[in-house]
Amino acid sequence: MTLGVALDASDADNQIDATVRLAQEARAAGLRSAWFGQTFGADSPQLAAIVGREVPGLHVGTSAIPVFGRHPLLVSSQAQTAQAATHGRYHLGLALGTRLLTETGFGIPFERPIARLREFLTALRQLTETGTADFHGELLTATTPLPARVPGAEAGVPLLVAAMGPQALRASGELADGILPYLAGPRALEEHIVPAVTAAARAAGRPAPRIVALVYGVVTNDADAVREKAAEQLAFYEQFPSYARVVELSGGRRAADVAVIGDERAVAAEVRRYREAGATEVVFSGTGIAGAAARRRTWALLGELAG
């Protein structure tokens, strides 16, 4: 199992420079991967490409690009460029997104998300593996009157999905290389998520999927105070049924209940629980919530566990 971190320097004077510095620090601590969220700010694949070039040996990934408001041709171009720039160390994450952000931000209806995900993955797989596509679905069309291959990205791009619900897990098992569940504790992984996506992959004749568990957590001696702060930050996710459901399946009532917060022994024990629940990779986010010293302490532990 590999260990990584999600990096967010969106409050810096220059987000790109600051992210590169954080990535260099993470790699020096022994971490294996760095992941970047996609909002309406910095472009995640571009950020990953820059970091991957600046920090050799570090795998980089997007977690995750919503399929609404994008097109497979454009996302393939971004992903292949990042893959070539990093010489095979880029991992593309996709997401359904949410009705709130889709309809408010893009002004398009959030309709038939699973069908759109299936069509998006099917067309994108053609593009990233062959550089061509001839896909005509109900919701998407992707054809290539011009070549869509980026030289240097011949190995293809790993496709992951931020899937947690039954239908999204089924589609991901059949069409993707793995999943990126967030705020899903070990119980939800072991009893619901991993069995569902693994069964779907097996039925489709695909290899066992990667399970990249995104965990909100930090090492600290003041767990109560940090958890209270985490509850404020994570409350945003509680309005979305998919997150509320997976928190409940994890045995929690609020999103902060599944956060991994405590001293080194407590956090290491939780990492082991994720591994035993089926996670092939664990990526920590929110490590800066208690300040730079706590972040460095967290990364030092994760680097030690990764080694």
Looking up tokens 């629940």 gives 277
CB atoms within 10 A of CB 294: 19
Q: Are 163 and 181 in contact (CB under 8 A)?
A: yes
pTM of the model: 0.96
The pLDDT tens digits along the chain (307 residues) read 589 999 999 999 999 999 999 999 999 999 999 999 999 999 999 999 999 999 999 999 999 999 999 999 999 999 999 999 999 999 999 999 999 899 999 999 999 999 999 999 999 999 999 999 999 999 999 999 999 999 999 878 999 999 999 999 999 999 999 999 999 999 999 999 999 999 999 999 999 999 999 999 999 999 999 999 999 999 999 999 999 999 999 999 999 999 999 999 999 999 999 999 999 999 999 999 999 999 999 999 999 999 8
For residue 1, the model assigns a pLDDT of 57
Q: Can you tell me the distance from the alpha carbon of 281 to that of 301, in angstroms, rounded to the nearest whole number?
A: 15
Q: Can you tell me the distance from the alpha carbon of 57 to that of 70, in angstroms, rounded to the nearest whole number?
A: 30
188 three-class SS: helix
Q: Which residues of 101-111 are buried (b: 16+ CB within 10 A; e: fewer)?
A: bbeeeeeeebe
Which of 239, 212, 243, 247 minimizes the C-alpha distance to 94?
212
Which of 210, 107, 106, 218 minimizes the C-alpha distance to 162?
210
Q: Can you tell me the distance from the alpha carbon of 93 to that of 37, in angstroms, rounded to the nearest whole number?
A: 9
Q: Are 219 and 264 in contact (CB under 8 A)?
A: yes
For residue 154, the model assigns a pLDDT of 81
Q: What is the DSSP letter of 223?
A: H
Looking up tokens 């293809």 gives 156
Q: Are 307 and 30 in contact (CB under 8 A)?
A: yes
Q: Please, what are the domains in the chain?
A: 9-24+32-162 (3.20.20.30), 178-190+210-307 (no CATH)
Q: Which residues fall within 8 angstroms of residue 274, CB to CB, at 6 or more apart? A: 186, 189, 213, 215, 282
Q: Can you tell me the distance from the alpha carbon of 135 to that of 116, in angstroms, rounded to the nearest whole number?
A: 13
CB atoms within 10 A of CB 242: 18
Angle of CA points 21, 27, 28, to nearest 5°: 90
Q: Hey, which residues does 219 pair with through a beta bridge?
A: 262
